[in-house]
Amino acid sequence: MQSYRKVEIIVGIFVLVGVLSMSWMAIKLGQIGGMGSSGYTLSATFDDAGGLRVGADVMMAGVSIGRLSSVALNDDSEAVIHMEIQNDVHLSTDAIAAVRTKGIIGERYVRMSQGADDAMLASGDEIEETESAINIEDLISKYIFQGKE
């Protein structure tokens, strides 16, 4: 009877450690509730955010360098996004932020292109150069109806 109790305690501890490890990984990898994220905040203004959502990736050269922390409208009816960028990534003051799509009908993300300036953006700065989302529906309708005018 004593050996069964000892085995049950060891199995219980093993399961508890496994559950805690999985929870920690989910928090770190998923950045749940802002935990596990560290970096600096940048903002950018777009004419059309094209369906960007909070939590969308910010990528440079195909590598995720951050996430969107907010997407909102300003007083001029423009989309203002705030991005949390990893501390080890430094963007120049003339960097370009563009809204792009993963694949043909995939999710939207922000693609960053490094500029040539030596000065770097600091936390709270705004990216001046932006490219709004390409609206496929508008392009198709222009193509279809261009000969009918």
Phi, psi of 12 (to 5 degrees): -60, -45
Residue 31: both structure tokens together: 């950045």
- State percent of the chain over pLDDT 90: 49
Query: pTM (2 decimals)?
Result: 0.68
pLDDT (average), residues 40-59: 91
- In tens, the pLDDT along 126-142 reads 999 998 887 777 778 88
* CB-based burial label for 56 (10 Å; 0-12, 13-18, 19+): buried
Contact 32, 26 (CB under 8 A): yes
- In tens, the pLDDT along 16-27 reads 999 999 988 877
